Amino acid sequence: MRIIIHRGTHQIDGTCVELRVGETRIILDYGMPLAASDGKEVNESSLQDRTAAELIKEHVLFDIPGLYNGQEPQVSGILISHSHKDHYGLLNYLHPDIPVYVSEGALKLIHVLNVFTHKRSHISIQNPYIVKHKASFDIGDFRVTPYLVDHSGFDAMSFLIEEKPTGKRLFYSGDFRASGWRRSLFDRFIKNPPKGINCLLMEGTMIERQGGAYEDESAVLSGVEDALKKTEKNVVLAYCSGQNIDRIVTFYKAARHAKALLIIDPYIATVLHVLKNERNKIPQLDWDSI
């Protein structure tokens, strides 16, 4: 197996890794970077009218033959770990015939963003294949097994990737944590991890950051409950990413405990609406009360 890390070392944005074995080539994530490979700042809104060939010249896209629109497709698939733009933000340039392997929840969140953003920032996935926790599938000479992980990006996956001819195994963590409401996914994984890994590619976004104000989502919940208890006002404003389902659950729980009414904006309401078929993955919400 040949591993080419196009971007993702020494930076936390714009992850892109290519794997090759025999004739099979796959890509792990293709995120929007803050800066091009030559260090120039990347302005997302200025990219939209450009061709892949132009952006390769400007070092925003990598010269990966057979990946882009306008080229003869030679890449067998791209795996998207989750719905944060630093992991999928350059998919618009992909050749539309190349399959994109992504979880159902992540695909829905990628699409729902298009409803609320300007056309210039829309990202559409033409040829999606839905992946599920521990349901293995083959892409040419690779066998891929997704593992659901705890992350602020809903329905995020790690990938175990095996080179079929030799049995060599690579594990790609994607973004993960052990502090959300789905921490049990991390604990279960650690108790019984896949065996015989030859190469581990692990995200380390927080490795150099010292602890934040709250250790985990339970601590955030206590903090929000305290704020609700202490306030003398009738309205308390809360802010979070509309796709951060765990944080919305936290606000929901705090409001319930305080017997307060939680009002959400139309964007969060739409996010919850599109995820209603995934409700088994968000057990903390009483969906009938929403």
Nearest to 25 by CA among 61, 88, 79, 62: 79
* Residue position matching structure tokens 């080179």: 163
Strands 24-30 and 77-79, bridge-based pairing: parallel
Which positions from 228 to 267 touch Zn ion by CB under 5 A, shown as an x/- string? ----------------------------------------
Q: At closest approach, how far in Å is the CB of 100 from Zn ion?
A: 17
Minimum CB distance to Zn ion smaller for 67 or for 149: 149
CB 53 within 8 A of CB 64: no
- Rounded CA gap, 149 and 237, in Å? 30
- Rounded CA gap, 178 and 184, in Å? 8
Minimum CB distance to Zn ion smaller for 32 or for 160: 32
Among the listed residues 153, 189, 254, 272, the single contact to Zn ion using CB under 5 A: 153
The answer to whether 84 contacts Zn ion (rule: CB under 5 A) is yes
Query: Taking contact as CB under 5 A, which single stretch among the options 83-91, 125-133, 181-189, 238-246 is the one that binds Zn ion?
Result: 83-91
The answer to whether 18 contacts Zn ion (rule: CB under 5 A) is no
Minimum CB distance to Zn ion smaller for 175 or for 246: 175
Minimum CB distance to Zn ion smaller for 150 or for 175: 175
Minimum CB distance to Zn ion smaller for 13 or for 162: 13
CB 153 within 8 A of CB 243: yes
Minimum CB distance to Zn ion smaller for 146 or for 153: 153
Q: At closest approach, how far in Å is the CB of 82 from Zn ion?
A: 6
Q: At closest approach, how far in Å is the CB of 84 from Zn ion?
A: 4
- Rounded CA gap, 45 and 123, in Å? 12
H or E stretch at 113? helix 104-116
Q: At closest approach, how far in Å is the CB of 39 from Zn ion?
A: 23
User: What is the phi/psi pair of residue 186, to 5°?
Assistant: -65, -45
Query: Taking contact as CB under 5 A, which single stretch among the options 8-16, 82-90, 212-220, 255-263 is the one that binds Zn ion?
Result: 82-90
- Rounded CA gap, 230 and 203, in Å? 38
Q: What is the chain's alpha carbon radius of gyration, rounded to the nearest angstrom?
A: 20
Minimum CB distance to Zn ion smaller for 1 or for 248: 248
Query: Taking contact as CB under 5 A, which single stretch among the options 57-65, 79-87, 109-117, 208-216 is the one that binds Zn ion?
Result: 79-87
Q: At closest approach, how far in Å is the CB of 203 from Zn ion?
A: 8
- Rounded CA gap, 125 and 69, in Å? 13
CB 250 within 8 A of CB 217: yes
What are the angstrom distances between the C-alpha of 105 and each of 129, 196, 197, 266? 12, 29, 27, 19
Number of residues that bind Zn ion (CB under 5 A): 3
Q: Between residue 168 and residue 197, which ones bind Zn ion under the rule CB under 5 A?
A: 175
Query: Taking contact as CB under 5 A, which single stretch among the options 84-92, 113-121, 225-233, 282-290 is the one that binds Zn ion?
Result: 84-92
Binding residues for Zn ion, rule: CB under 5 A, are 84, 153, 175
